[in-house]
Amino acid sequence: MGQTIVVLGAGVGGLIAANTLRLQLGQEHRIVLIEKNQDHTFAASFPWVMTGYRTSKQITKNIRSLVRHGIDVVVEEVTTIDCIKKIVTTKESSFNYDYLIIALGADLRSKLIPGLPNNAHTFYTLDGARKLHEALKDFKGGDIALVVSSMPYKCPGAPHEAAMLISTFLQRQSQSQKVNIHLFTPEPQPMPVAGPQLGEALKQMIESRGIKFYPLHKLVSADAEKNELHFEGKPPVHYDMLIVIPPHRAPAVLLNTGITNEAGWIPVDRATLKTKYENVFAIGDVTSLSIPGRWKPDVPLMLPKAGVFAHSEGEIAASQIVAAINGGKPAAQFSGVGYCIIEAGKGVAGFAYGNFMADPHPQVLLHKTGRRWHMGRIFFEKWWLSPFTMKRRIFRYVLNAGAKIFKVPVKL
């Protein structure tokens, strides 16, 4: 008899999981992809929208163009998840499942920051990136405060990337001499999850662009009238433009499911992405997955909330389900190997690659910045947003060829 597999969320992980399942399972099995938005936006390109390098239209595609034939796409918002009765409901429908993959991502909660002004900017949403672009074009000078408000947050390289891209943009606007960019974070170094060597390399990269880096700055509140930020145990900081990475929280629909931990995220098995409920998997930003090492003596490192891991986890969760349905050889397991292309402005980028589950701490190296990594990111964007046609195959061929030439073991 055919099985029904429901995938919640059509971000990176959800799309990969649904497409992998459809590719590897027979048509007697039903694949249902539920997503509240009819369009998919490539979030990795939000910093390019922020600086005018991309438009909203260029990085937005209808979900149905990004999935394989034979996947039932349901554009509705999930309202309840019952992991005991194996039922998912939306505002319009209900779905019984045999297997469930939760890929609902993380929500942004700016209102959790007391006193945050209405004119605070962010590039973590498409609309926010568009508005920030207009503000940067009109900015006449002063202090820009780019603040990581709390941990964890999506894409640990994004704040540093954004600071360097803003610096380049303002140079082209002939405003760089009048602007000071300050990057504040509660972390002890840039990307502590990637290990001390990469953190130091990234810090040097940031500071070489004239960006001032402030680690161990935990944001407590903001004062809109005085244009001030208040950090725990630090003096007030003035700003003329405020850019915030908002607090991240798991979607509210998970609160009463019994599947989350005290922090609100879904703990999963490190190798299989299984949750504590039978036949229920979780992938991507909504998960909580510890890795070796600590970024504070009493705070363990957690796997970053990043698209590259959501991608891999989508494949692994799908392979686990395929193996359970079809039997045969054991399913693949999650390795923790990942990479990150960090835009540095001026048409160049750095490339970080390594094993985030290495012991005693992640082993990740940052390759020297160059235009080849920037071009690789462009091609990856094109591949990701291409429909399942010959065009998509061409982009994939170019990406794989480039990976072999530069000896970068990136699997697509």
Please say if the pLDDT value at position 192 is more than 90: no
- What is the C-alpha to C-alpha distance for residues 371 and 26, in angstroms, rounded to an integer? 43
Confidence of residue 400 (pLDDT cuts 50, 70, 90): confident
4 has which bridge partners? 30
Q: What is the rounded average pLDDT of the residues 288-292? A: 87
Q: What is the average pLDDT score of the chain?
A: 92
- The CATH label, of 1.25.40.10, 3.20.20.80, 3.50.50.60, 3.40.50.150, for the domain at 4-106+250-333 is 3.50.50.60
Residues of the chain with CATH 3.50.50.60: 4-106+250-333, 108-247
* Residue 411 banded pLDDT, cuts 50, 70, 90: very low
> How does pLDDT run across 215-245, given as a tens digit for each residue?
999 999 999 999 999 999 999 999 999 999 9
- Strand partners of residue 349: 343, 370
Pairwise CA distance, residues 192 & 409, whole Å:
23
Q: How confident is the model at residue 407 (pLDDT cuts 50, 70, 90)?
A: low
* Cβ-contact 333, 293 below 8 angstroms: no
Tens digit of each residue's pLDDT (9 = 90 or more) over 52-98: 999 999 999 999 999 999 999 999 999 999 999 999 999 999 999 99
pLDDT tens across 350-382, in order?
Answer: 998 889 888 887 888 888 899 999 999 999 999
Please, what CATH class does the domain formed by 108-247 belong to? alpha beta
- Element spanning 382, H or E: helix 371-384
Q: Greatest CA separation found in the chain?
A: 68
Q: 3-state class of 242 per DSSP? A: strand
pLDDT at residue number 199: 85
* Digit-coded pLDDT (tens) for 319-360: 999 999 998 777 889 999 999 999 999 999 999 888 988 888
Give the CB-side neighbour count of residue 280, counting CA atoms within 13 A: 23
Residue 174 identity: S
Q: What is the DSSP string of 95-156?
A: EE-SEEEE----EE-GGGSTT--TT-B-SSSHHHHHHHHHHHHH--SEEEEEEE-SSS-B-T
Quick one: pLDDT band at residue 176, thresholds 50, 70, 90? low
Is the pLDDT confidence value at 173 over 90?
no
